[in-house]
Each structure stands twice: as structure tokens, then as C-alpha cells.
Amino acid sequence: MTDLWIDNERLTKQISFLVEIDKLKTVLRKTFLIDKSRLENTAEHSWHVSLMAVVLLEHANEPSLDLNRIIRMLLLHDLVEIDAGDTFAYDSQGYLDKEEREQAAAARLFGMLPDDVKGEWMTLWREFEDGTTREAKYAAALDRLQPVIHNHYTGGVSWKKNGIVRSQVLKRLDPVRETSDTLWKFAQEIIQRSIDMGILFDDPTAKEV
């Protein structure tokens, strides 16, 4: 703990946490910005998906989702990457110990907050990770849809670079299929157009999905 700010231990913890999470701006994802100038970082990604949640809420199948909880979930869902790094969505090796690495990261990061709120943040993060509530599913849907939009509009630069094929993309989009008929139709169309444009490879497995 650094020196206390205004003799207030709670505030000092909160400020330390807010300073610490600045590091998320230096965690790079595999997705490019739409202008292709550079890779996207996880902080700006979190901002983008949070705004997507607001804009696209009307397309969720379930009415009256708790937008407040959805946005808070999306703002914090990737904080663990500060310690655990960004595990590429299609990196099966990296996924082997992803859970463990991220759990330790959550304990350290949310542990910086005052004790009585630490649990609340852990719970919210776990809710997103478990993906069982309606809100967590909708939040995950946007988190999965956003890189597909980026890939489409950048000529599939990240898909090509990483040899990603249709069936892999479709599988990642399960939360979209589960939460929004409209967004699921859109996801299928953007994937089909990407294939037609030659920026995403088709594969036989995809037909079965």
C-alpha cells in the first residue's frame, strides 16, 4: 500500500486500483482497429462493447435485461488480462490454463479494492465468465460479435493472419445465437459475405453447425 491519501484507507485502495487498471490499455488483442492502423487494446475494446450493448439492446430476445449490470460486466470483464494476458479466442493451448491464470488475476486485482466491495466485483466477473444468466449471455454475445465485425471491415486481416475458418467463428458465436434472433441472422450474414468476399475460409465442418 502506498501512502494514504487524505488519511482515508478506502479511497487509497480505490485510487491504487484505478491506477493499476490503466495497464489494460497496454494489453493487445489479436483484432485490428477498423482502419487497420494497429492492433486493438483491451481497454478500448471494453469501451466499444459496452457501447454496443447500449445500442443493440433492443435486439435481445429477452425483454427488460438489466443494462446497468450488463455494462458494468463488460467494463470489467477483461481486467484479468492485466495479469493473464489476452488469450486468443482460437488458441486451444492457451485455453488449457486460462481459467487458472484468470482466477488468480481476479483475486489479485479485485483484492485491491475495499473488502466489502471486492466480493461484489468477483461475483460480477464470475457471472460473466460462467455465462449462465441472461445478462451474462447478452454481454458475451457482444464480446464475441465485435471482433467479427472488425474482421469483416478490415478484410479479414486477423482471420487470415491466424488461419481461422468458418466453423471456428460460428462456434464462438453461440452466445449470439442464444440471445438474439436478429443479431444471429446478422452474424450469419456477415460471415457469409466474408466468405463470398474471400476473406474468411469456408470449411466442411461449418455446414453442420
Torsion, Cα of 32, 122, 18, 39 (10° steps) = -10
Rounded distance, CA 128 to CA 49, Å? 13
Indicate whether 170 belongs to the interface with its own copies (CB under 8 A): no
Q: Is 37 helix (H, G, I), strand (E, B) or coil?
A: coil
Indicate whether 75 belongs to the interface with its own copies (CB under 8 A): yes
DSSP assignment, residue 197?
T
| Among 11-19, 86-94, 129-137, 164-172, the segment contacting its own copies (CB under 8 A) | 11-19
List the one residue out of 171, 157, 15 whose CA is nearest residue 90: 171
Could you tell me which residues come within 8 angstroms of residue 120 by beta carbon, excluding any fewer than 6 positions away?
none
Q: Kindly state the greatest CA–CA separation across the chain.
A: 64
Q: How far is the CB of 97 from its own copies (least distance, A)?
A: 26
Indicate whether 54 belongs to the interface with its own copies (CB under 8 A): yes
Binder to its own copies among 26, 123, 162, 205 (CB under 8 A)? Answer: 26
Binder to its own copies among 33, 122, 157, 195 (CB under 8 A)? Answer: 33
Looking at the Cβ atoms of 23 and 177, the one nearer to its own copies is 23
| Among 33-41, 92-100, 157-165, 168-176, the segment contacting its own copies (CB under 8 A) | 33-41
Indicate whether 98 belongs to the interface with its own copies (CB under 8 A): no
Residue list 144-163, contact with its own copies (CB under 8 A)? 149-150, 153
Rounded distance, CA 105 to CA 98, Å? 10
